[in-house]
Structure 1
Amino acid sequence: MHQLNLNNYKQEIADLYTRRSDKYDNSDWHWRIANRLVEYGQVDTGQKILDIATGTGHCAIAAAKLVGSSGKVIGIDIAPGMIAQAQKKANILGLNNLEFLLADAENIDFPANHFERIFCASAFIWMSDLVKSLLLWRKFLKPGGILGIQAFAETAFVGGVITQNILKKYGISYLMSQPTGTVEKCQNLLQKASFELIEIKVEKDGNYISLESAKKMWAGISHPAPGQYPHPLSKLSIEELNQAKLEFENELKSLQTDQGIWNDITTFYIYGRKPKV
């Protein structure tokens, strides 16, 4: 597998997801999200499909089963570990209409007007420039082709929401899901990239988690920050970091109930069509 020439920000993401690749399928959560994205995307027999940031191939595999032998699915990712896992799964399933490539989603080159569908699940927020990415991907869609993206509401993931609120006191903006965090923001992004017939399906989701699980959601500098480099937390001194973490844990304790801490996971499935003319 060839090496990608990635900047520091993207290399950190690639390393993070390669580290996670062995255990990425331990829960069926990512699979459910990807499956729903493809399901709503009206995939048909014979279509050519691109799955961006394919991970272990959830969207790509779901789509490959639908397009059949006359169709073709390409899954791309910047993490070699993820591509290796995806390929292993495709081989076991005997899906010959599926190809996985190590590639940077913001620096890809496919023929123009080539794919009927392009999907991106659980990863759009990691792009360095959201509108520029959408414009690039739109180029590869056939006229009338559909882009489907999954994102989370700004209320999603209690750890991230609390981290954001605490960091504001330190004058730090931590984006997380903010750029795609409302229906209006999602609509605006796709409108700026000249998509039409924009449709956003909102699915309320969430669960109660333990205080210990919630504490593990502390951002920390070792985990890259979506859409931000260098990491916003790197502006804090060690003392400030420790203080912020303490405030984070105290805030979580105040949210604890008999059932645990509510962790919202409201999910958006966002679709836009490339105009036919």
Structure 2
Amino acid sequence: MKLKLDPYKQKLAEVYDNDRSQNYDQNQWLPQITHRLVESVEIKPGNQVLDIATGTGHVAIEVAQLLGNSGLVVGVDISTKMIEKAREKATALKLKNIEFQLADGENINFPDNSFDLILCANAFPLMINKEATLRLWSKFLKPGGFIGLHSIAETGFTNIIVLKKILENHGINIDFFQLSNTVNTIEKYDNLLRQANLEVIFVKTETHGSYRSLEEAKKKWNLVYYPSPVNNNPHPFTKLSTEKIEQMKAEFELELEKFTTPEGIWNNGTTFLVLGRKSVSQ
């Protein structure tokens, strides 16, 4: 099955198919925050759970293990390779109460009032229309059901902060780095939940700090090529010479070296943890 995606989502799927899927499970930070999202909600036997942008199944698999022999968790993602890896992991664990579907979390169709929980780790800032997306997900919730989100704050990773600084020094705005700006405060998340007619249970920031090697941090230069839903204008780099781009990359790497310690480069790992509930009267 091949998904029909808009140009932005198609490019995003290609990033995860061709790049991120290769080493996604080697990231030690991801299991921390996906576990934190799962433990922040109450998983009950018999629950029906939807995991949006499941990736390689971190959230979905943990939920399935908590559900035991009852209930069901459905994981959806736009990346074929990520879904394949999630299925392989679930099969190896002999989980029977889990399924994965190739689907766009902003354009999915499930029966109304069919899930007790909808969870989304990491991907919510990448959604194009966040309020509409929350409203759509809310339709799938049973009355009294919960939506839980966990996403990185824009100050979470040192390499991203440094990358933004270098680009701004050269007068370049890469839309990817503006995505989280629509949900970069507790107040904005709070408002989004209310606009989607969800009761705010909590919106808070947490830190999950960790070290990353200098070489790993340098690889994040590739984020400059990340697709953006903000506009479809030509990438700013198309107007630059190869020499100019290489100069900026060298400056990025040099600046990162200033943050290097014997343990590596410290990321404070600041994240947003968000939980909303659908009214029992809806």
State the TM-score, normalizing by the size of structure 1. 0.89
The answer for the alignment partner of 1:16 in structure 2 is: 15
Q: 2:181 matched to 1:182?
A: no
Q: For the residues of structure 1 that align with 2:122 and 2:194, how far apart are their CA atoms?
A: 21
> Is the alpha carbon distance of 1:244 and 1:84 closer, same or farther for their aligned partners in structure 2, counting shifts above 3 Å?
same
Tell me if structure 2 keeps the 8 A contact 1:31–1:58: yes
**Aligned sequence identity (%):** 45
Per-residue CA deviations over 1:54-93 (Å, capped at 9, x if unaligned) read: 1111111111122233311111111111111111122222
Letter in 2 for 1:178: N
Show the 5 A alignment for 1:158-197.
158-169=158-169, 170-172=171-173, 174-197=177-200
> Is the alpha carbon distance of 1:251 and 1:22 closer, same or farther for their aligned partners in structure 2, counting shifts above 3 Å?
closer
Q: For the residues of structure 2 that align with 1:227 and 1:206, how far apart are their CA atoms?
A: 29
Per-residue CA deviations over 1:219-243 (Å, capped at 9, x if unaligned) read: 4554334766557544651354334
The answer for the alignment partner of 2:203 in structure 1 is: 200
The answer for the alignment partner of 1:153 in structure 2 is: 153
Q: Tell me which of 216, 223, 229 is aligned to 2:219.
A: 216
The answer for the alignment partner of 2:114 in structure 1 is: 114
Tell me if structure 1 keeps the 8 A contact 2:52–2:120: yes
Letter in 1 for 2:8: Y
Tell me if structure 2 keeps the 8 A contact 1:18–1:81: yes
Q: Which range moved further: 161-170 or 109-118?
A: 161-170
Q: For the residues of structure 2 that align with 1:82 and 1:257, how far apart are their CA atoms?
A: 33
The answer for the alignment partner of 1:272 in structure 2 is: 276
Tell me if structure 1 keeps the 8 A contact 2:118–2:137: yes
The answer for the alignment partner of 2:59 in structure 1 is: 59
Show the 5 A alignment for 1:25-40.
25-40=25-40
The answer for the alignment partner of 1:81 in structure 2 is: 81
| C-alpha displacement of 1:183 | 2.0
| C-alpha displacement of 1:128 | 1.6
Letter in 2 for 1:207: S
> Is the alpha carbon distance of 1:259 and 1:25 closer, same or farther for their aligned partners in structure 2, counting shifts above 3 Å?
closer
Structure 2, unaligned runs of 5 or more: none
Q: Which range moved further: 40-49 or 236-245?
A: 236-245
The answer for the alignment partner of 2:249 in structure 1 is: 245
State the TM-score, normalizing by the size of structure 2. 0.87
Tell me if structure 2 keeps the 8 A contact 1:145–1:273: yes
Alignment RMSD (CA, Å): 2.3
The answer for the alignment partner of 2:70 in structure 1 is: 70
Q: For the residues of structure 2 that align with 1:101 and 1:195, how far apart are their CA atoms?
A: 26
